[in-house]
Amino acid sequence: MDGRNARDDWWRHAVVYQIYPRSFADANGDGVGDVAGIRAKLPHLAALGVDAIWISPWYPSPMVDAGYDVSDYRDIEPVFGTLAEADALVAEAHAAGIKVIIDIVPNHTSDQHALFRAALAAGPGSPERELYIFREGSGSSGELPPNDWQSNFGGPAWTRVADGQWYLHLFAPGQPDVDWRHPGVRAEFEQTLRFWFDRGVDGFRIDVAHGMAKDWELPDLDGLEFPLPEDAEHDHPHWDQPGVHEIFREWRRVADEYRPSRAFCGEIWVGRAHRLAAYLRPDELHTAFNFDFLMAPWLPGELRRVIDATIASHAAVSAPPTWVLGNHDVCRPVSRYARDQHGLDPMARNLVHYQGRPADLALGGRRARAAALLMFALPGGAYVYQGEELGLPEAEDIPAEALQDPVWFQSGGTDKGRDGCRVPLPWTAAGESFGFSPDGAAAPWLPQPSDWAPFAADAQDGVPGSTLELYRAALKLRRELGELGDGSLEWLDGGENVLAFARGADADGVRFQCWTNLGSEPVGLPAGEVLLASGALDADRKLPSDTTVWLRG
Ligand code: GLC
């Protein structure tokens, strides 16, 4: 095992690869990815050089939100496989030096979870209902929702049940929110943490970690927008409530009982650096996704501002920054960066924010490669969403009748949602489904674009300059060079369109340097050995636009 990965603080530098199991690899031929598929592709992940994998929910689920509606947190969805296969995967990943992080969904369960079914059956006023957020409606006969909260997917956040009460769901109606004040809820999730920690799982990604506590007066939003302004003095009624921190202190105590150290990564959309850092105090979560980096446009000033704010806010709580360009909820970076980057909505992350802007995918691809090398050189840890290492673009033309994301349905067909980044991966240029499933299998659960052969893993394997080989080389260097990963950086002066920084000790005057040119003109580079570049340098050794280079100089 790699030296740093064997250490107790492995999470401070880790490159974590996100597996979306439905779309990663299908071994049994039903058109949906599975645990056997992940096991078969472990050599790909080991050759890529990642430190850990994070597996999106693989639990039994009615799949109204692709598995983020969990009906049993302590088993495996039969479509994906069995608990025995999951155990085997964890053992095999560990043998390959790869940590395993799984996804916990604590803000809500499925409406098919035994606890919600019991709550429905027991009726109003019962102890069973207290684990969820049931209320009487407003209006003269309770015919209106209890308040004006909206589902994240569109429409009201409340659904009425047959006996007349309403229950809260910040996401789909099939995802009822639980009441985290209830000791039964706390005990249930603690048991789930221990169940998987005891099986050797190395950590959890925490779904909607900023949503678990609510203002229990359940006040109307009255048009309150989120994220709140940087200097807001009031809280939002259901996002980033102060009460959430107590829950994570409890969870940290559980994680700290285990050796080697187990780690948490929070999915926290708060849009304010100091509020994000509050989750990373030493007795709370280890890490959190830095979505500000993901949402920053490909513009030097914006990126520099986000990098500086991230480093400063994380340093204040001694937490390592993390960097992320994509996941299963956002438009793929190649397609985001393919668009004009000026004047975007500050929360621009989904396809809906970019449609209508012409796309230059070759440009987007160049920028995404440059962004990846920039990300891997920054201090802390990094996330890679499956397919980024292949340079996959968003699938923007999925026919309406094939779309599955609840966003599409709850938005009344106005927002195509997230299916475009969830299309099954192309493994081979030849073959049906580009090798996602065995030949002769059922069609993939989402259709793949017909022109994806050049992106296939086998089409890039061993090909100098391919995105796959770039990622492999970057992660290999990251393991070899002690300067990369956790630590600090020193900015260098490369001009206003360049992000340039050095890492590591300066004793002999030779340091690791990362230079990214975000301008339209080539820029001169300092002397030194070129370690890796996201694209060819000019003949006179200048750094072309939208290119990153790693140097020793
Ligand atoms: C998170 C997940 C997303 C899911 C939502 C509700 O944001 O990443 O996929 O729809 O939570 O669980």
Task: Quick: pLDDT tens for 23-80.
Answer: 999 999 999 999 999 999 999 999 999 999 999 999 999 999 999 999 999 999 999 9
Sign of CA dihedral 87, 88, 92, 98: negative
Q: Tell me, using a 6 A CB cutoff, whether residue 64 lines ligand 1.
A: no
Report the nearest-CA residue for atom 12 of ligand 1.
68
Catalytically active residues are 207, 257
What single DSSP character describes residue 375? H
- Give the ligand 1 atom nearest the CA of 153: 10
DSSP conformation letters of 199-244: TT--EEEETTTTSS---TT----TT--SSPPTT--S--SSSS-TTH
pLDDT tens column, 455-494: 999 999 999 999 999 999 999 999 999 899 999 999 999 9
Give CA–CA dist 53/519, Å, rounded. 34
C-alpha separations of 9 from 55, 261, 317, 376 in Å: 20, 7, 16, 18
Taken as a whole, the chain contains a residue count of 553
54: helix, strand or coil: strand
Q: Tell me, using a 6 A CB cutoff, whether residue 65 lines ligand 1.
A: yes
pLDDT tens column, 122-134: 999 999 999 999 9
Cα 463 to ligand 1 centroid, rounded to whole Å: 36
Instruction: Give the number of other Cβ atoms within 10 Å of residue 15's Cβ.
Output: 24
pLDDT tens column, 389-435: 999 999 999 999 999 999 999 999 999 999 999 999 999 999 999 99
Calculate the CA 266 to chain-centre distance: 9
Looking at residue 7, its pLDDT comes to: 86
Average pLDDT across the chain, whole number:
97
CB within 8 A of 160, min separation 6: which ones? 137, 145, 166
pLDDT tens column, 238-248: 999 999 999 99
- Give the ligand 1 atom nearest the CA of 108: 12
At the fourth CATH level, the homologous superfamily of domain 488-552 is Golgi alpha-mannosidase II (2.60.40.1180)
Beta strands per DSSP E along 197-248: 203-206
Q: Tell me, using a 6 A CB cutoff, whether residue 179 lines ligand 1.
A: no
- Give the ligand 1 atom nearest the CA of 171: 6
Q: Which residue has the tokens 């994070």?
A: 54
Q: Going by CATH, does the domain composed of 114-168 fall within 3.40.50.2300?
A: no
Q: Tell me, using a 6 A CB cutoff, whether residue 63 lines ligand 1.
A: no
Give CA–CA dist 172/441, Å, rounded. 31
User: Which sequence spans correspond to the domains of the chain?
Assistant: 3-108+183-474, 114-168, 488-552
Looking at residue 2, its pLDDT comes to: 55
Residue 528 dihedral angles phi and psi, to the nearest 5°: 140, 165
Report the run of H or E that residue 90 belongs to, with start and end: helix 83-95
C-alpha separations of 51 from 87, 159, 305, 424 in Å: 19, 42, 28, 23
Q: What mean pLDDT do residues 334-339 have?
A: 98
Cross-strand pairs, 312: none
Give CA–CA dist 352/415, Å, rounded. 6
Alpha helices for 279-415 (secondary structure H): 291-295, 300-315, 333-337, 351-354, 361-377, 406-410
Residue among 111, 206, 208, 291 whose CB has most ligand 1 atoms within 8 A, to mutate: 208
**Does residue 506 register a pLDDT over 80?**
no
* Best CATH choice for the domain 3-108+183-474 from the list 3.30.365.10, 3.30.9.30, 3.90.79.10, 3.20.20.80: 3.20.20.80
Give CA–CA dist 266/313, Å, rounded. 16
Alpha helices for 199-243 (secondary structure H): none
Cα 215 to ligand 1 centroid, rounded to whole Å: 21
Q: Are strands 15-19 and 381-385 parallel, antiparallel or unpaired?
A: parallel
Q: Tell me, using a 6 A CB cutoff, whether residue 153 lines ligand 1.
A: no
Residue 226 dihedral angles phi and psi, to the nearest 5°: -130, 140
Cross-strand pairs, 515: 500, 549
Give CA–CA dist 453/183, Å, rounded. 52
Give CA–CA dist 158/452, Å, rounded. 41
Give CA–CA dist 268/262, Å, rounded. 19
Quick one: pLDDT band at residue 1, thresholds 50, 70, 90?
A: very low
Strands across the sheet with 15-19, in order? 287-288, 263-266, 203-206, 99-104, 52-55, 15-19, 381-385, 322-324
459 — alpha (psi -120 to 50), left (phi > 0) or beta? alpha
Question: CA 475, 479, 484 angle in degrees (round to 5)?
Answer: 90
Report the nearest-CA residue for atom 9 of ligand 1.
329
Quick one: pLDDT band at residue 156, thresholds 50, 70, 90?
A: very high
- Picking from 534, 387, 537, the residue whose alpha carbon sits closest to that of residue 41 is 387
